[in-house]
Amino acid sequence: MAIVGAILAAFYLVGVGVAMMIFGTGIWPIAVVGSILLIGLQYKLGKWGALRSVGAEDLPEAQYPTIHRQVEKLSRDMGIEKPELKIARMGVPNAFAVGRKGAGIVVISEELMQILDQDELEGVIAHELAHIANRDVVTMVIGQGIASIVGIAAQFVILLSGDNDLADFFLAIVVGNIVQFVVMLFVLAISRYREYVADADASAAIGRGDPLARALEKIQRGNEHARNSNLDEQVSALCIFGSNSGLLQKLVSTHPPVEERIQRLRS
């Protein structure tokens, strides 16, 4: 985490440095404020878009008292405020968290509650609460914001160093996307690592790892047989389960292989 975080910070400094070389040293306050605004906008829009895309609705406490009591206890043990609980019909058994400490939201799919036992569901909820407690959603948004900033800086370099014709315009788009993709590889590495951390924290919170391991097995089978998933790519990145196979897909995946997660939980 320290190494990858340092690399991302270096990418950001390079992006700001490029802006200062192009527009002068006086641009740095605007570059920093612009970065904060961009990341804040991505955070707000990402949170709103994720909830809207799955049609998340409030989870009634009168109908699901056990789940609410579980969340209250786990939140207290993890030192965070109880997040909002929402339910959605996702087409697959899954769950995800958005927001930050004090303003978190956990979304659970109807399909997930149908296939999991009570202790397994508790393990999944603990995993999502760990993401909120560890500020993982905010961390990922910052990483994505850095990737966007560096990509924009690369585009400016191409445009201002060329003839400003149509060819330079398309070249700038291609180079900007390539640079952004390279930076995102490091962001995705952080995402995969944070999944392991959330698994470990969830195991500590509920006292054992086997319920979450069993839940992941059921979720994996449920996703393999699902035909009508309502999850888009951005929401899938937030979910507790993400499928991946093959070296390239593992490299660009937000989640580590589920088999490795299960093995760690049971060891």
Q: What is the pLDDT of residues 112-170, one digit of tens each?
A: 999 999 999 999 999 999 999 999 988 888 888 888 888 888 888 888 777 767 888 88
Q: Is the pLDDT of residue 250 over 70?
A: no
Q: Look at residue 168 in the predicted model and tell me its pLDDT.
A: 81
DSSP helix/strand/coil, 87: strand
Q: What percent of the chain has pLDDT over 90?
A: 40
Residue from 120, 125, 131, 127 nearest 217 by CA: 120
Q: Look at residue 121 in the predicted model and tell me its pLDDT.
A: 95
Listed range (38-47, 105-114, 117-126) with the worst mean pLDDT:
38-47
Active site residues: 128
How many structural domains are present in the chain? 1
Domain extent for 194: 2-266
Q: CB–CB of 122/71 below 8 Å? A: no
In whole angstroms, give the CA distance from residue 171 to residue 166.
9
Q: Look at residue 100 in the predicted model and tell me its pLDDT.
A: 85
Q: Is the pLDDT of residue 237 over 70?
A: no
Q: Is the pLDDT of residue 233 over 70?
A: no
